Amino acid sequence: MSVVNPQITDSVTQSSVQVVGSAPATAIATLTQVTSHAISLALENAVSQQQALNIIGNATVAAAVQQILAVGGRS
């Protein structure tokens, strides 16, 4: 049986305690980053959808004006 130096076991124990102690803070930080990323993607999708709807709206108005002008020329 070999004897392990008490300084080594103390060092490993302190390292383990530090990792376990910082785990909740790391988990909260990761959760915050993931949530922020999800919200930013949702906002990016909303902006993209609004831009697409504006393009469709402009095309609709242009087509309606074209029809109005065509009818106005026939009378």
Domain ranges of the chain: 26-75
**Above pLDDT 90, what percent of the chain?**
57
14 vs 22: CA distance, rounded Å:
12
**Above pLDDT 70, what percent of the chain?**
95
Residue ranges with strand state E in the chain: none
Q: How confident is the model at residue 18, as a pLDDT?
A: 78
Q: pTM of this prediction?
A: 0.59
Alpha helices (H) in 1-75, listed in sequence order: 6-74
| Mean pLDDT, rounded, for 12-26 | 83
